[in-house]
Amino acid sequence: MALVPCQVLRAAILLSYCSILCNYKAIDMPAHQTYGGSWKFLTFIDLVIQAVFFGICVLTDLSSLLTKGNDSQEQERQLKKLISLRDWVMAVLAFPVGVFVVTMFWSIYIYDRELVYPKLLDNFIPAWLNHGMHTTVLPFVLIEMRTTHHQYPSRSCGLAAVCTFAVGYILWVCWIHHVTGVWVYPLLEHLSPGVKIIFFAAVTVIINIFYLVGEVLNNYIWDTPK
C-alpha cells in the first residue's frame, strides 16, 4: 500500500477514535459518576490505548515525511525511537487488548448481554457508539497490521508486559470492589471466590494467547519468521 493512503487511513482512524471518546464522555451515565469513573471499564481503557497508538502512528508518518531526504542523524535516531515505540504499543497493547475486548464482549453478549452490557445501557449509548467501542476496533487494528510491518519485542519481554497489564487491570477491578462493594462487571457478581480466581487466570491466559496470535499473524503477513 502506498505511503500517502496509509497516512490518510491512520489519520481517519485516529479521528474516529477521538469522536468515539468525546461522544462516550459526553454521555451522562450514573456509572461515570461512581468511583473509578470511565477508567474502571476495560472498553474505555482500550479506546484510549487505540487512540494513543494511532496518534503515535500519525506522528510517525509525519516525522517520516519531514525527515525524508534529510541527512540529519539525530532526526533519524529520533524517528527510529518513535517507530520502536509504535511497534511496542501495537504488539503489547493495541492488538492483544483490542482483540480481547471485541471477542470477550461479543461472546458474553451473545450468551447473556445482562452479564456485560445490560439492556438499560441502550437508553444511554446509541448502537453506532456501541459498535465503535466494541466492533470496529478489530478491523482497524487488522488494517494497521496489514499495511505496516511491526517489529515485535522478544517473546519473553512481550508476554511479561502483557501479563503486567492484565494483572494490573484485575487488581484495579478488585480494588474497586473493595472500595465500593460492587463489581465493575455484573458477570463477577455470579461467580464464587474460587471461580473468580479461575476466571481471572483464564482471562490472563487468553490475552497472552492473543499476543502470540498477533506475533504469528504479523510474521505471516510480512514473511518474517521469528
**What pLDDT score was predicted for residue 29?**
81
Residue 125 falls inside a structural domain: yes
Residue 1 falls inside a structural domain: no
165 with 101: CB under 8 angstroms? no
Q: What are the residues whose beta carbons fall under 8 Å from the beta carbon of 155, sequence distance 6 or more?
A: 212, 215, 226
Residue 82 falls inside a structural domain: yes
**What pLDDT score was predicted for residue 3?**
47
Task: Give the total number of structural domains in the chain.
Answer: 1
Query: Which range marks the domain in which residue 108 is found?
Result: 6-28+38-222
- State the pTM of this model: 0.92
Residue 169 falls inside a structural domain: yes
**What pLDDT score was predicted for residue 226?**
53
Residue 155 falls inside a structural domain: yes
C-alpha cell at 13: 482512524
**What pLDDT score was predicted for residue 178?**
95
User: Over the range 49-82, which residues count as b (16 or more CB within 10 Å of their CB) and which as e?
Assistant: bbbebbbbbbebbeeeeeeeeeeeeeeeeebeeb
Closest CA to 156 of 89, 91, 223, 62: 91
Weakly modelled stretches of the chain, pLDDT under 70? 1-4, 69, 71, 224-226
Residue 159 falls inside a structural domain: yes
Residue 33 falls inside a structural domain: no
Residue 21 falls inside a structural domain: yes
